[in-house]
Amino acid sequence: MASLQDIGMSAAINILSALSFLVAFALLRLQPINDRVYFPKWYLKGIRGSPTKSGGLVKNVVNLDLKTYIKFLNWMPAALNMPEPELTEHAGLDSTAFMRIYLLGLKIFIPITLLAFVVLVPVNWTGNTLERIKDLTFSNIDKLSISNVPPGSNRFWAHLLMSYVFSYWTCYVLYYEYKTIASLRLRYLASENRRPDQFTVLVKNVPPDPDESVSEHVEHFFCVNHPDHYLMHHVVYNANNLAKLVAKKKSLQNWLVYYQNKHERHPTKKPTTKTGLWGLWGSRVDAVGYYTAEISKLNQEENAERERVASDPTATVPAAFVSFKTRWGAAVCAQTQQSSNPTIWLTEWAPQPRDVFWDNLAIPYVELSVRRLLMAICLFLLTFFFMIPIAFVQSLANIEGIMKVLPFLKPLIEKKVVKSVIQGFLPGIVLKIFLILLPTILMTMSRIEGFTSLSSLERRSAEKYHLFILVNVFLGSIVTGTAFQQLEKFINEPSTEFTKTIGVSIPMKATFFMTYVMVDGWAGVAAEILRLVPLVMFHLKNTFLVKTEEDREQAMDPGCLDFATSEPRIQLYFLIGLVYSVITPVLLPFIVVFFAFSYMVFRHQIINVYDQKYESAAAFWPQVHKRVITGLIISQLLLMGLFSTKGVAKSTLLLIAQPIMTFWFHRLCKGRFETAFMKLPLQEAMVKDTLEKATEPNLNLRAYLKDAYVHPVFKGGELERPVAIDEEENSPLVATKRNSYRSSRHDSDASSEVGV
């Protein structure tokens, strides 16, 4: 069990690491040569003028103005000074709402921490129970936990009361934060500039028709069923192979530029490369000529694939982006059932054009259920088998266990420095390495499930990641860690005694989570602001690939808020804080420091660095709320289990009401606020339409939407696109190629008058 000295060693290592990262960042950001690495957002907006304000002393590489070094920490107050409305205008509501997750943590845990230290810490410290238990390893930190309170003591009433107070405060803050975000979302949507997705609906599972193509069928259906509002549509093509060719050609063009630049620097020596995989083997050839020839071949393949997609009916997917003349018309279509058969003509709001995940639009609708079932099975297996390395990591937290298994390491382990590093630092860093590999696996699984937008992919991946962290990192750490520590007692003692030992040992895992918070939440967040990998990659690209200012802009990697991984990690801190708020309050300051430090760092990144891939207007907040509620209920259930081992059965019965009331609170919030994140009020849509007609009566919406939902690989290419039909106000008949009444039954429009 980690002692106070071990925690001190871990704190020293991680604080020094964090300070080193912050000082390195503060100095590197002042250098003109790094300006595009640490301020790319301002370059992308086109308003970044000069690297610094140090006048003539600034050189191309190094900042020689000593005054700027004196104020090298001024980025901290600057990150906090931008008002929230200005931040929303600058970076979008998604970024603002994401920062409010950190504020939510501060609002919840600062009052809880103060109250816990005033009430619970003195109660725990004066319990003097752990010293009376034989053969139990504990530290001074454990004496501050609930384990130090004697069984059956009236002191547990303080913990029970604080549990209710903490739960009430958490729900109170969650309610008003949910209300605030819902209000911000509605105001944001009402004030937002015109966007293609406001007028467009994604239609999936278009039924086949023997007489009409998919494009004609879509046109016919919407002219009949939405005659006053339908404007145009874009059918979806399966262009995945073409996209791969385009991506491959872009990669080869980068290599060609690299070797051309290399040749320009050394004209007397022609660069060469090997024709094998990754240029590691094969015959050696002239690099410029080789890549020029390869790009020429790919151009021919690309043109052939374009022609195939344009002429092959099987390349057309039974889906389309349908645009309407008004936002009101689009809202009605997106939020209603289009056919008596609920499995066809499925409609939903179209993602932003930059949010569309084009690869998954080609997946047949009938495959989606099978894919998602298979991925659910895979997620279960992944979660189960990851318990093995988690158990190994937790075993590292027990010095005695290592010495029993590997006795020859005893002389080394008994050294104070080695022991402190193993118990205070190593478990957290090893677990962090395991978790680095996980998000890529989970995102791949979400892609296989067939979600059609980047935002939905990230939300789904975040859901998987949260489940994994909950089961493996949190519950797995408690269960497997306890089992390793108490294995001998489990074998030699009755089951009732082992249950009591579990109740005592669960609070002792707080020391492990302290080390994890410091590794991941302190040093890890500080490493994020340094941007070491983007820094190295930019200078490599700038050295070998950049010829023009446009090339230099493309070499920038601003990155973005990775909701799929960042939000579940934040939820782990909510969970740890809520669980240990009553059990081991001394852990709470570590949580508060994490939320405060992360808020400052990520606010700076949002203002100066990140360029979001999409804007969902905080559509993820219902999931954030649900996961905090999940953490709160888990904390309540674990406290009930702990109380059951403490000889206070009556108190345990009083705790049963907590999870029930919390679940009822969640249902209340879901019914009160969630619709604001799922549907667009028709009233709001009509207001925006009316205002737009008054201010822009001559708006050509057809021209505005013409290329909005064309696959990126076709933009600028030659592909025959379906032409939207003329407005139907002057004709009561809708043109069709159908030869039979029977075929028209697919559209559920048998009563409509159809011209042939």
What is the model's pLDDT at position 753? 35
pLDDT at 288: 85
Whole-number Å distance between alpha carbons of 639 and 646? 11
Confidence of residue 427 (pLDDT cuts 50, 70, 90): low
- Rounded distance, CA 606 to CA 598, Å? 12
110: amino acid identity, one letter: I
3-class DSSP state of 724? coil
What would the DSSP string read from start to end of 272-306? Answer: EEESSGGGSSS-EEEHHHHHHHHHHHHHHHHHHHH
Helices (H), 126-234: 156-191, 214-225
SS3 category, 545: coil
Cα 98 from Cα 567, distance rounded (Å)? 8
What mean pLDDT do residues 426-430 have? 62
* Between 695 and 416, the higher pLDDT residue: 695
Q: In the predicted model, is pLDDT for residue 740 greater than 60?
A: no
- CB neighbour class for 227 (10 Å; exposed up to 12, middle 13-18, buried from 19): middle
Place 602 in a pLDDT band, splitting at 50, 70 and 90: very high
- Strands 200-204 and 272-274 come out as unpaired
Give me the residue label for tokens 């559209």.
Answer: 747
Report how far residue 652's alpha carbon sits from residue 658's, in angstroms, rounded to the nearest whole number.
Answer: 11
CA distances for 438 relative to 248, 373, 393, 394, 569, angstroms: 27, 20, 16, 18, 12
Cβ atoms 568, 462 nearer than 8 A: yes
* pLDDT tens readout for residues 275-329: 777 666 778 888 888 889 889 998 888 888 888 887 888 888 889 999 999 999 9
pLDDT at position 549 is 67
Tokens of 331: 């809202």
Task: Give the contacts of 693 (CB within 8 A, at least 6 positions apart).
Answer: none
Give the model confidence (pLDDT) of 125-161 as tens digits: 886 766 666 666 666 777 787 877 777 788 888 989 9
Helix/strand/coil (H/E/C) assignment for every residue in 411-432? HHHCCHHHHHHHHHCHHHHHHH
Per-residue pLDDT tens for 66-90? Answer: 677 777 778 888 889 999 999 999 9
3-state secondary structure of 734: coil
| Nearest to 334, CA basis, from 485, 464, 200, 226 | 200
Helix 532-544 and helix 240-265, axial crossing angle in degrees, nearest 10? 60
pLDDT band at 717 (very low <50, low <70, confident <90, very high): very low
Q: Please give the DSSP secondary-structure letter assigned to residue 1.
A: -
The per-residue pLDDT for 431 is 61
DSSP-derived secondary structure letter, 71: T
Instruction: Kindly state the percentage of the chain with pLDDT values over 70.
Output: 80
Distances (CA, A) of 24 to 10, 27, 112, 369: 21, 5, 34, 49
Which helix (H) or strand (E) covers residue 234, if one does? strand 230-237
